[in-house]
Amino acid sequence: MQSRYDDAVALWASARVTELLGDSEGPAPKYGTAEWHRLAGNDPRKGAAVITAAEMWRRYGDEEDLLAWFRDASRARPPLAGWKTLAELNELGRPKPPRPVKAAEGWPPVAIPGRPGWYRHFVNGRQVDGRRTEAAA
């Protein structure tokens, strides 16, 4: 989120860089590079490079994060034609019919929805309904 001071800070930084570079023959070298280190300590291009680097950090953060953002923004995306339509998404969101309750061999009885106290058992290869207190036949 931009604050109301961002424009003022950007204008100040731009004015200072312009003031420092004045009639220089070219732009300031990138801060921290070998070319930047070769400049004299009182060379105004050195100060302009520092302000430019600070302004870039303020605006965009870490250079690696910025490059990662560019890589992600430029990666290939699936074509829109392959996306599901609204009708397809609505169909997927519709409730599915309930599956019948089935007990499985070796597992405990399964409660039957809508019939409190009734359970489905798997007995001799058959599905058998019974109350919890009844023993399965």
What pLDDT, in 10s, does the model give residues 43-102? 899 999 999 999 888 887 877 888 888 899 999 988 988 899 999 999 999 999 988 889
Is 81 a domain residue?
Answer: no
Handedness of CA 7, 9, 10, 15 (dihedral sign): positive
Residue 70 belongs to some domain of the structure? yes
Q: Is residue 71 within a helix (H) or strand (E), and if so which, with residue range?
A: helix 63-74
Q: Which domain holds residue 33?
A: 6-74
Report yes or no on 116 lying in a domain: no
pTM: predicted TM-score of the whole model, two decimal places: 0.45
Tokens at residue 46, please?
A: 């050195």
Of 135, 110, 58, the residue nearest 127 (C-alpha)? 110
Read off the pLDDT band of 33 (50, 70, 90): very high
User: Which residue bears the tokens 């061999």?
Assistant: 105
Collapsed DSSP state (helix, strand, coil) of residue 18: helix
- For residue 55, being part of any structural domain is answered with yes
For the cut 70, the answer to whether the pLDDT of residue 133 exceeds it is no
Give a yes or no: residue 87 inside a domain. no
Yes or no: say if 109 and 127 are a contact pair by the CB < 8 Å rule: no
The answer to whether position 17 is within a domain reads yes
Looking at residue 109, what is its pLDDT? 92
| Total domains present in the chain | 1
